[in-house]
Structures are given as structure tokens and as C-alpha cells.
């Protein structure tokens, strides 16, 4: 018993030493990092919906003046669709500030989008709490709406069930893919119960594959008259429904990124489309949230993979929607993104990838006039920081061996298959090829966070500049300049063209307004009068990095106040 007590005492002393080493006074914070975060999160792993919920709730509890947590609605299976509102609530109401909307994980196997969105929320809150002036200024001016996962049902399926890196890509509403009258009866089968769905191979005299002599994990296609040793049989599985096919009818088959009400097409034209636009409950909840928050001026959706900063249009048929003025804004943001995200390329969906009808990206811009990017996270460039062969199969094997200690591969091992007989099972785990290895996850999360912050920073920032008051004989002429100090206008050209959002209102108080006008050329005294409600001048747009000039003719008064109200530009006020 004495020995046992001694061991416990030693353990206590060691633990006490460890705890002391973790105290703030014992830590030298790296630059650009919260020095002593209230919410401790490890950013080298992936979180299921329960863990995401826990992190969101902890952030809201630890930073009540910054983070508000609410649910946009429920998923098909009843999970909460969490969204965090992040802003300095002591400096104005969040719904009156220009806002950035961020979501991730619309495709269920593209899970790191949730970690990137969560990291953004965590970083903003913790850096504000640490006294970082740049973040404090940002959250005084802007609002962030961050929805970590918008496909939580299938996310949990990917994390907790045996899957490949590519399944399930979709949601979990049951669909009969093979049209045999039943759903979900022939999905993947974890034959050896190791939690991984990898590949099946068997020896065959007619096989077209052989083992790579430089790496016995890899199968390579033979050429010419060379004889192969193996045939590949696809992913692990059996023919559950006896129709002669394996793995063709898993859980869900609709694509939630083909469900949006902009250039939507039915399934026979756009594979993956569901019943009608916004027929998927998760997307319907997002649309309702966005419509209730007209202050959203910028948006970011996180996908994987390939290292891309994508903008629309998704299809050639929609090319005219993206006009030159808006493309200038997109180009400026996208090119900056290429600098901030090594290995990423700024691309256009339809031109550089493929056609997408009914995509989230296009609805946000086309339907709401919001400047929106979709980042395809993870690029092979990050493996060795070089572009040569960045997507090659060879690099996947060497990187796993050199830097991951072969943790990404399930070694080939024998199995008796009920249909194929003696086979071998092996291959890359589901957490490789599309997803970040742990040690690279936080680095890329930080860079993508910074790009989103840059985007949000460049949403409109309005101020009232010069106010000129001039006596013109019986009346007072008040002229005011309204500045937009950022790149993004208060209304995109798509917004102006389609009258999506209400005009900006520039108001004057302090006297009886008898006339109000927009000044189109101050030097030449050219104006356009607004005949109705002259005290509240309606302006279609305040351009980015520019200004508008307005004027009133007023009876009485000498002290005037100019107020500006813009849905996407926020509020501004000044008195003479």
C-alpha cells in the first residue's frame, strides 16, 4: 500500500508540473495566434456534429459580447443547423453592419470545410479577447455569420461509418439509385470490420495491373504486351441485393449543391438535382436565414479538393449574369487570394472545371447580389511545396511514407469474398487524398480564414465626408459627400440590374427640406432631383473606393445631420 501511495504522489507531482507548464506565464505566444484562448481547441483533427455543437456553445459562453449561437433550422434527420453571429455587440447591432456569411461541408465527405469555418469563428473571438487591434476594429465594423456544417447528417455518416474518401458525397434522403424498388440496400460493406472502406484486388492471368517494384503498396497499369498479375475489383463490398452489382445503391444520391434556385435544372439534365429548387431542408433553412439578413454583402463556401478559389458562373448559359464591374471586384479579391493561399488558383467554374446548374455559389450572387467564393480546400502542392506532379499518384505514396509514417494506407491483406473468392483488401484510408493531414490542417485553415477576413474587410465602409452649408438667399443649400472606403460597392451590378435590394438612403435632419437631389457633376452643377420625399434621398449604389454627392435645399435651421442607411453598407452619420 505504501508503494501505491508513493506512485500516486509521484504522479500528482508530475501532473502538477505539467499544469504549471501550461499556465500563461509559462508560454511565449507565436505571432498571429491567440496567446491564451478561453476555448481550447485542437485543430489537427475532425469533429462530428456533437463536437461541433460543443465548440460552438463554448465559444458563445466564453465570449457573450461577441458570439451568439442560434439554429437556422434542422437537417433531414433532425440535427440543428448551427450558425454563429460574431460581431462586437457593444459597437452597434450586428444586423446593421456589413456581413460575411461562411459555411462548410455542403458535400458530406468534404469535411474540413467545417473545421475551417469553426477556426474562423474561434480565431476572431479569441484574437479579439486578446486585444488584437485589427480584429477589434474589424468586429466593430463587420458581422460574421458562420455555419460550420450545413450537411450534418451525412457528415456524421462519413465520420462514424466505413466510407471511402468520396462517400457519401451527398445527403441522406433515401433514393433508389438502381431502381429496384428499395433504397440503401447495397452500399459499402466493411468486409474485415476495420472501419475503412478500401480497395479489393485478386490475382488473375488476365489482370491489367502489377505491383509497383519500387513500392509494394501501389498497383500500376501494365502497358503493351506486358502481362499483369492482378485485377482491381473496386471498393470493398458485396452484392447485397443480388442484382449483379456491388456498392451501387448507398445512402442518399442527391447533391445539395445542385438544389439552389438559380439556373436550376432537373435531375435528367443536372445529375444530383432533387425534386425542385430548395427541396432539401438544409438548403431551405439557409435561404430563409440569408433572406432575413440583407446585410450579407460577401459569402464563402468551403469544399474540397484541388486548391481552387472559385467564382461563378457555374454554366456558360449564365455568363451574362457576371458583368464587367463585378468581375473587377472578383478578380481583385481572387488574385489576392492566390497570394495568401500558396498552391491555390483563382478559377471560374464553367470555364475551368465543368458546368454546375443550381449551385449555391450562383444563387448567392445571381439571386442576392452577394460576392461569393467557393474554395476547394487541399492541394497536392502542400505536400512538398512544389507544383511538379502535385496531383500524381506517386506523390501520394511518397508523402505518406516520408511525412505520415505510412499511416494513410491499409496494407494489403487476404480475405475470402463470398463472390470473388480469394482476394486482398488494401488501400488509402478515407481521411487521405481529399482531406488535410493533421499537421497541415491548421495552417491551411488559418490561410483560408485570412482570405475570408480580407474579403469581409473589403465589404462597404461608409462615412460622411464634407458637409458644405451655403446660404443661397432665403434657403440653405446643404451638400454632402458620402464615401465608401472599401473595394466592394453597396450594391453589386447584379443587384442594381435586378433591383434585388432596396436603395441606400441618405437623409438630412435639422431643417425643413424643400428639395433633394443627387449631384452628378459638382463642378458643372449638374443634379438629378428626387421629387418625392426629398429629405430621404435614394441612391442606387455607392461604388467601392469612391463616393456619391447629394444636396438639399432647406428652410430654416443651421445645424444639420446627415444620416446614411444601407442594407449591405451599414450606417454612417455626421453633423456640420
Q: Are residues 392 and 528 in the same domain?
A: no
Q: Which residue is catalytic, options 80, 126, 251, 376?
A: 376
Torsional class of 524: left (φ above 0), alpha (ψ -120 to 50), beta (otherwise): alpha
Q: What is the pLDDT of residues 91-125, one digit of tens each?
A: 999 999 999 999 999 998 999 999 999 999 999 99
Within a domain: 197: yes
Is 519:388 a contact under the CB 8 Å cutoff? no
Beta bridge partners of 373: 300
At 502 the pLDDT is 97
Residue 504 belongs to domain spanning: 462-575
Q: Are residues 182 and 144 in the same domain?
A: no
Q: Are residues 196 and 281 in the same domain?
A: no
At 391 the pLDDT is 61
Of residues 44, 218, 31, 255, the one with CA closest to residue 127: 31
What is the CATH number for 505? 2.60.40.10
At 453 the pLDDT is 98
C-alpha to C-alpha distance for 371 and 85, rounded to whole angstroms? 19
DSSP 366-429: IIH--EEEEEEE--THHHHT--TTTT-HHHHHHHHHHHSTTTTEEEEEEEEETTTEEEEEEEE-
- 376 is annotated as an active-site residue: yes
pTM value is: 0.93
What is the CATH number for 336? 3.40.630.10
Q: Are residues 117 and 56 in the same domain?
A: yes
Q: Which helix (H) or strand (E) holds 272?
A: none
At 247 the pLDDT is 72
DSSP 230-255: EEEEEES---TTSSS-SS-B-S----
Q: Are residues 390 and 403 in the same domain?
A: yes
Within a domain: 167: no
Q: Which helix (H) or strand (E) holds 325?
A: helix 324-340
Provide φ and ψ at 383, rounded to 5°. Answer: -65, -55
Is 343:381 a contact under the CB 8 Å cutoff? yes
Count: domains in the chain: 3
At 157 the pLDDT is 92
Q: Are residues 421 and 468 in the same domain?
A: no
At 460 the pLDDT is 98
C-alpha to C-alpha distance for 476 and 86, rounded to whole angstroms? 43
Q: Are residues 66 and 117 in the same domain?
A: yes
Q: Are residues 417 and 556 in the same domain?
A: no
Which stretches of the chain drop beneath a pLDDT of 70?
1-22, 171-187, 248-253, 388-391
Q: What is the pLDDT of residues 435-489, one digit of tens each?
A: 999 999 999 999 999 999 999 999 999 999 999 999 999 999 999 999 999 999 9
Terminal-to-terminal C-alpha distance of the chain: 83
Q: Are residues 268 and 139 in the same domain?
A: yes
| C-alpha distances out from residue 199 to 128, 206, 237, Å | 47, 19, 9
Amino acid at each position: 500500500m505504501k508503494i501505491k501511495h508513493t506512485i500516486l504522489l509521484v504522479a500528482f507531482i508530475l501532473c502538477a508540473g505539467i499544469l504549471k507548464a501550461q499556465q500563461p506565464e509559462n508560454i511565449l505566444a507565436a505571432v498571429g495566434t491567440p496567446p491564451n484562448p478561453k476555448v481550447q481547441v485542437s485543430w489537427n483533427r475532425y469533429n462530428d456534429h456533437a463536437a461541433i455543437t460543443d465548440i460552438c456553445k463554448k465559444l458563445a459562453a466564453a465570449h457573450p459580447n461577441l458570439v451568439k449561437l442560434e439554429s437556422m433550422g434542422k437537417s433531414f434527420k433532425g440535427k440543428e443547423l448551427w450558425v454563429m453571429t460574431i460581431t462586437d455587440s457593444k459597437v452597434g447591432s450586428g444586423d446593421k453592419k456589413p456581413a460575411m456569411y461562411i459555411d462548410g461541408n455542403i458535400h458530406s465527405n468534404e469535411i474540413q470545410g467545417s473545421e475551417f469555418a469553426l477556426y474562423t469563428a474561434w480565431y476572431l473571438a479569441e484574437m479579439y479577447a486578446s486585444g488584437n487591434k485589427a480584429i477589434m476594429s474589424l468586429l466593430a465594423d463587420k458581422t460574421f455569420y458562420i455555419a460550420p456544417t450545413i450537411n450534418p447528417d451525412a457528415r456524421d455518416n462519413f465520420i462514424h461509418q466505413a466510407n471511402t474518401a468520396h462517400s457519401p458525397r451527398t445527403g441522406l434522403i433515401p433514393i433508389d439509385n438502381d431502381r429496384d424498388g428499395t433504397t440503401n440496400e447495397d452500399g459499402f460493406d466493411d468486409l474485415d470490420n476495420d472501419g475503412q472502406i478500401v480497395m479489393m484486388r485478386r490475382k488473375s492471368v488476365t489482370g491489367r495491373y502489377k505491383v509497383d517494384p519500387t513500392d509494394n503498396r501501389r498497383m500500376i497499369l501494365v502497358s503493351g504486351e506486358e502481362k499483369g498479375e492482378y485485377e482491381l475489383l473496386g471498393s470493398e463490398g458485396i452484392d447485397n441485393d443480388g442484382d449483379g452489382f456491388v456498392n451501387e445503391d448507398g445512402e442518399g444520391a442527391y447533391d445539395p449543391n445542385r438544389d439552389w434556385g438559380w439556373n436550376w435544372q432537373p435531375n435528367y439534365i443536372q445529375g444530383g438535382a432533387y425534386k425542385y429548387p430548395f427541396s432539401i431542408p438544409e438548403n431551405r433553412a439557409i435561404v430563409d436565414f440569408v433572406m432575413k439578413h440583407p446585410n450579407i454583402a460577401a459569402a464563402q463556401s468551403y469544399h474540397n479538393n484541388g486548391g481552387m478559389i472559385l467564382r461563378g458562373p457555374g454554366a456558360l448559359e449564365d455568363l451574362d449574369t457576371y458583368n464587367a464591374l463585378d468581375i473587377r471586384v472578383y478578380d481583385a479579391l481572387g488574385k489576392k487570394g492566390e497570394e495568401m493561399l500558396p498552391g491555390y488558383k483563382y478559377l471560374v467554374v464553367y470555364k475551368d472545371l465543368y458546368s454546375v446548374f443550381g449551385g449555391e455559389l450562383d444563387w448567392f450572387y445571381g439571386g442576392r447580389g452577394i460576392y461569393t467564393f467557393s474554395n476547394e480546400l487541399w492541394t497536392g502542392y502542400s505536400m512538398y511545396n512544389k507544383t511538379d506532379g502535385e496531383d500524381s499518384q506517386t506523390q501520394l505514396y511518397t508523402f505518406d511514407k516520408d511525412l505520415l509514417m505510412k499511416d494513410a494506407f491499409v496494407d494489403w491483406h487476404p480475405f475470402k469474398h463470398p463472390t470473388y473468392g480469394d482476394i486482398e483488401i488494401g488501400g488509402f484510408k478515407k481521411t487521405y487524398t481529399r482531406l488535410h493531414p493533421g499537421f497541415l490542417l491548421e495552417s491551411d485553415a488559418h490561410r483560408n480564414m485570412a482570405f475570408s477576413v480580407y474579403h469581409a474587410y473589403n465589404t462597404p465602409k461608409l462615412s460622411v465626408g464634407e458637409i458644405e452649408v451655403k446660404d443661397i438667399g432665403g434657403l440653405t443649400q446643404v451638400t454632402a459627400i458620402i464615401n465608401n472606403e472599401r473595394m466592394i460597392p453597396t450594391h453589386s451590378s447584379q443587384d442594381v440590374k435586378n433591383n434585388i435590394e432596396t436603395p441606400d438612403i441618405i437623409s438630412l435632419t435639422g431643417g425643413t427640406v424643400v428639395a433633394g437631389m443627387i449631384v452628378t457633376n459638382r463642378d458643372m452643377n449638374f443634379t438629378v432631383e428626387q421629387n418625392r420625399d426629398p429629405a430621404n434621398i435614394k441612391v442606387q449604389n455607392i461604388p467601392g473606393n469612391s463616393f456619391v454627392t447629394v444636396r438639399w435645399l432647406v428652410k430654416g435651421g443651421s445645424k444639420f445631420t446627415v444620416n446614411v442607411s444601407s442594407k449591405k453598407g451599414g450606417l454612417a452619420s455626421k453633423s456640420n
